[in-house]
Structure formats: structure tokens, C-alpha cells
Copies of this chain bind each other. A is one copy, B any other.
Amino acid sequence: MRIIRSQTKMSALSDGLKKKGMSIGLVPTMGYLHEGHLSLIRKARKENDSVVVSIFVNPAQFGPKEDLRKYPRDLGRDSDLCRKIGTDIIFYPTIKSMYPDMYVTYVDVEDITRLLCGKSRPGHFRGVATVVAKLFNIIRPDTAYFGQKDFQQAQVIKKMVKDLNMNVKVSVLATVREKDGLAMSSRNKYLKGVDRQDASVLYGALMNARALIKEGERDPGKVIKAIITLISKKASAKIDYVEIVDPETLQRVEKIRNRVLIALAVFINKTRLIDNLLIRI
């Protein structure tokens, strides 16, 4: 396994692989890898001749008051995990090389980036789309792997790839969860003691919502209310949003039918967690 910092070297390696007819699977991450990332890497390993994991805590997707500085980092641990699981290359660029002085170009995916997390994190998805476009151009993967936990992010990437005619397949894999249902996230590291216990209420509330819908509830307002009621029982919890939306447009639905996405963002004390559930009726 190689750790590559230079964009030029990374592109040259990719070119070499392509010329040999080898396929490249990319798992873009911000590092501090967990079982969710590892499931993506395993899938990439299965489906490609070569696996690249990018590790880059992307400043462009953090708001000015967000946790860019304290976002957890541990390259040693990450590279051990990547090596064990069969990664060929870790691409680990510097901030200066990704956003040099005079950097001015951004990719804007409109509409769906204004909803859900886009409301509370303006500019977030612009930063995500931009860095992913850059990574795609540097690494030129055949397939890129994302987790369903970041459902909206995956939709934004898919839209960008389609609209800008990028030659990359986007593969979205199921959310990996802790035993109590908490969706894996590098930010779970922030959760200590009771907060960590409280955090499982997100999944609990989603499961309860699913049960309500299975029992026949079709009014999104009522299901949302049940979710809010459950989550609000935890003193540490502050709800950012709970919505039931169309999984393609991310627009709120008036009635639950066909396929819907229940999406939520909740602060457990200062830690913002997201989760979602795709429901087919």
C-alpha cells in the first residue's frame, strides 16, 4: 500500500493503471475510519482491480462555526485499517495543494442542496461537490463509493455526475450501525457517557416511525410528530430537522406512499448527528 500526497503522482499512478486496463475504485473519506468506511472499501476491493482511499478533511465543506479544527484525525490508525483490508493507495493531499492561493472554482448543485442539511449548513454541499469533482479528476475512478448515512450527499454527487457528464459510477451502500442502532460516524467520537446512550434515540425513533407506517399511518405530519416526541424525551437532544421527503427530489411529501425517506438531524449536546431511513410501501 502506498500513501500518496502529490496530485501529479496520484494522477500518474491512475493513468498507469488505466493504461493496463485496470479498474479503479475510489472511497472518498475525511479519515478517522469506522466500520461504515470499511464496508465501502471492502466493496471497492471486491469490484475493482485497484482501490484508492482518499483521506482529506475538506475545509470547503465546513461552516465558519463548525468543527473543522477539532474534527478527529488519525492517519496511523487509518492506514493500518486500509492496509489490512486491501487498499492499494491512500491519497492524502495537503490543504495547500487542494486549495492553493487564488483558488476560486466551485461546483454548485442547486435545488436539492437547499433542503434538509443544506438549510442548516449553507455552502456545505458546495464544498462537498467541489472536492469530489477534484478527487474524481485527480484519481479518475471507475466507481466511487458513498454511504447511505449521508443520503443527501450521495444524491448531490449523483446529480453532479449526471449533469456534468462525469465518467464515474456512483455506488451507495447501506448505513453501518453500532449494536444499539447508532449510525457509524467519525463524529460519534465526540459523544461521551450519557450523550452516547442518548444518541441511540435517533435510530429508535426511526424504527418507531417505520412501525407506525407499517401499521398504516400515511400522514407524514403524524409520523414526524411521533419522532419528535421520542427524541425530545432526551434532555441532551435538540432537533435540527425531521422530514419525510421524496428520495429523488428531497422535497417534502404530503402523503406517505411508494418510496419515502425519513431524514433527521439532531444535536446531542454540541454534536450534530444525522440519520435516515428509506421506506418502501
Contact = CB atoms under 8 A, between A and B. Distances in A.
A108 B110 contact: no
Interface residues of A, number: 26
A160 B137 CA distance: 12
Given A134-B164, A137-B165, A165-B134, A107 B105 contact: yes
A253 to B, nearest CB: 17
Contacts of A109: 104-105
A137 B160 CA distance: 12
B134 A167 contact: no
Nearest to A11: B167
A111 interface: yes
A152 interface: no
Contact of A108 (B11, B108, B140, B164): B108
A96 to B, nearest CB: 13
Contacts of A167: 11, 137, 140
A262 B167 CA distance: 39
Interface string A98-137: 0000011111111110000000000000000110011001
A106 B130 CA distance: 11
Most chain B Cβ neighbours within 10 Å, of A103, A109, A137, A167: A137
11 contacts: A7-B165, A11-B165, A11-B167, A104-B111, A104-B163, A105-B108, A105-B129, A105-B164, A106-B108, A107-B107, A138-B165
Given A105-B107, A105-B110, A105-B159, 5 more contacts: A104-B109, A105-B108, A106-B108, A133-B164, A137-B164
Interface of A: 7, 11, 103-112, 129-130, 133-134, 137-138, 140, 159-160, 163-167
